[in-house]
Amino acid sequence: MQTAAGYITDVSYLPGFYPNMAPVLLRYAATLNRIAPPSAERVRYLELGCGLGRVFTTLAAADPRGEFVGVDVNPHHTAIAERDIAAGGLTNARAVTADFANLPHDLGQFSFIALHGVYSWVAEEVRSQILAVVERHLAPGGLLLVSYNAMPGWAHLQPIRGILRQYAVLRQGDSLQRIRDALAYLVYIRDKHARYFTDNPRAAAYVDSIKSLDARYLAHEYLNDHWTSFYFADVAGTMGRVGLDYVGSLPVHTNFWDLCVLPEFQELFRTTSNRLVTEAHKDFCANTAFRWDLYSRQPTPLATVEERLARADDLCFGLGNPDQRLPHTANLGIVTSTTTGALYETLLDILRGGGRPLSAILSDRALAGVAPAAVAQAVDAGVATGLFEVTNHPLPAAGTVPDAPLKVVLPFNRALLAADILAGRPIALASTLSGTATPISDLDAAFIHELTHGGRAGMVERMDRRLNESGRGIERDRNPVTDPAERTELLTQAADAVCATLVPQLVRKGILAAAE
Ligand SMILES: C[S@@+](CC[C@H](N)C(=O)[O-])C[C@H]1O[C@@H](n2cnc3c(N)ncnc32)[C@H](O)[C@@H]1O
């Protein structure tokens, strides 16, 4: 295995987009935690360990005002990011091939630095290099997003990594071959009831959840020399030593303790304000296995709603689904939350008219007499439960889809749809209105490609041909469908659903528009 400070370089990673990394959400998470976010006017965003670059390139397409830089030590990764930058015609993104200890000195300061899938998988010395980069390049008031494997969620699974890695080291071949061999061994000893698995039934079940994952992902997850799961307090302590304060976490609901832990564990949050204590409590009560944490250098507190409006009123709130009705139920893992009541009915009525900033919501006559803090709190809880979404610009009200041929507006999205079609993984389509991207399945992406190239008539037949040519099967209830009539029926239903639900959503976000 070739390594860069113990990190594998002989197998390329997979492309992926993670909505938690979008500046619009990072700014919102800061605001929610009463910290002034960096300005949205000219975002400077540095992604460390960007892999194939799908995050920073998609974000660059979604925010032409900003400047986005991705760094990775693996030249195969940065070459793919460069290819996507060129194909999408992006002039505000660049990929840098370098390890964290040797970044170009002229990178300047960034309002956002983000690293996903890196911190737990590198050597301690590399983590120190990352911190040095953050110290040098994070602007005052800037935000750092760091994700990592967390304790105690990994406690009972940690030996799986040990088994996979120890077996893989003994095998021949590249990292892909080694991880496949190691996985086969893992399944074998689990199926033969090795005592570790009978003593740890959840670890036995976990084997099923990784069996079907892409071997490239598994190689990067399990075969590096270093692999550490951290307690929140350890990471917060390390960040504190370089002057970074914990701000909050993503996804948004993890900032609300009543949405993370069951009622019997909530008393501590009412009586303790020390985040080191409450976050640890949350992680134990929820058995957290992965965290996305936000840190800031020299954060400015936002004590009141007025201060929030002064610093962050460019964030817009809209309905996630324009047809939304109450009650709204969200399953958030540990907690299932149901939203209902007069205040939310009023908010839904207001936002059915289209997205708007908090100040416009507060000044709506329908909310006269309701305390601004209560409205802001309800809006935030609505975002946490997926009722509302946060965007860079106001999304229009639910409109009708133009009765004309449709086009994919951004060249970046067109290039993605053409290159990544039916690749077996979701594709995230950038929206300049929302400032982030909407992930859709590869099958839906192929429908959108067909719709925008050949129109609605004959779309099902063209999809059928495309699927046959690519060898990509379709399934009903997880069983492959081979009967031609049944295939046509399924594809017709899928095409109708895409046109009825997905297309209006993409039009509203400005991802699709009438072709001139
Ligand atoms: C698991 S991948 C995550 C990629 C991407 N962030 C994602 O989530 O799709 C970790 C990435 O960090 C890069 N990396 C590891 N050590 C590095 C180092 N010392 N300097 C720069 N990049 C490094 C690897 O090449 C790899 O692309």
Q: Residue 2 pLDDT more than 70?
A: no
Of 419 and 185, which is predicted with more confidence?
A: 185
Confidence category of residue 3, pLDDT binned at 50, 70, 90 = low
Q: What is the pLDDT of residues 461-504, one digit of tens each?
A: 999 999 988 888 888 888 888 888 998 999 999 999 999 999 99
311 Cα to the center of ligand 1, angstroms: 34
218 alpha carbon to ligand 1 midpoint, in Å?
Answer: 14
Given ligand 1 and candidates 3, 7, 59, which is best to mutate, with the most ligand atoms within 8 Å of its CB?
7
Assess whether the C-beta atom of 356 lies below 6 angstroms from ligand 1.
no
pLDDT tens sequence across 369-388: 999 999 999 999 999 999 99
Distance of alpha carbon 192 from the chain centroid: 37
Q: What percent of the chain has pLDDT over 70?
A: 99
Give the whole-angstrom CA distance, residue 131 versus residue 297. Answer: 12
In 244-397, alpha helices (H): 267-271, 275-286, 305-312, 342-351, 358-362, 372-384
288 C-alpha to center of ligand 1: Å?
23
- The percent of residues above 90 in pLDDT, for the chain, comes to 88
435 Cβ below 6 A of ligand 1: no
Q: 430 - beta bridge partners?
A: 437
Over 70: is that where the pLDDT of 274 sits? yes
Count of other CB atoms within 10 angstroms of residue 222: 24
Q: Assess whether pLDDT exceeds 80 at residue 296.
A: yes
pTM beyond 0.85: yes
Nearest CA, atom 11, ligand 1: 49
Least confident of 116-125, 139-148, 452-461: 452-461
Cβ–ligand 1 distance for 45 under 6 Å, the answer no
CA of 48 to the centre of ligand 1 (A): 7
Question: What is the mean pLDDT of the segment spanning 420-424?
Answer: 85
pLDDT band at 4 (very low <50, low <70, confident <90, very high): low
Distance in Å, CA 118 to ligand 1 centroid: 6
Whether residue 6 has its Cβ less than 6 Å from ligand 1: no
Q: What is the CA radius of gyration of the chain?
A: 24
Q: Is 99 in the pocket of ligand 1 (CB under 6 A)?
A: yes
pLDDT of residue 1 exceeding 50, the answer is: no
- Using CA atoms, how far residue 73 sits from 103, 114, 115, 185, 445, in Å, is 10, 16, 14, 31, 31
**Mean pLDDT over the full length of the chain:** 95
List the alpha helices (DSSP H) in 193-323: 195-199, 201-211, 215-222, 232-241, 267-271, 275-286, 305-312
Checking if the pLDDT of 30 tops 90, the result is yes
In terms of Cα–Cα distance, which of 387, 433, 377 is closest to 410?
433
Q: How would residue 400 be classed by pLDDT, with cut points 50, 70 and 90? A: confident
pLDDT band for position 421 (cuts 50, 70, 90): confident
Q: Looking at this protein, which amino acid is placed at residue 344?
A: Y
Q: Say whether pLDDT at 5 is over 80.
A: no
Cα–Cα distance between 311 and 376 in angstroms, integer? 14
- Asked if residues 462 and 408 have their Cβ atoms less than 8 Å apart, the reply is no
pLDDT at 446 over 50: yes
**337-348, pLDDT tens digit by residue?**
999 999 999 999
Q: ∠ CA 269-302-371 to the nearest 5 degrees?
A: 75
Mean pLDDT across 105-115: 96
- Report the pLDDT averaged over residues 391-397: 96
- What is the dotted CATH code of the domain comprising 3-152+229-297? 3.40.50.150
Residue with the larger pLDDT of the pair 25 and 212: 25
195-211 average pLDDT score: 94
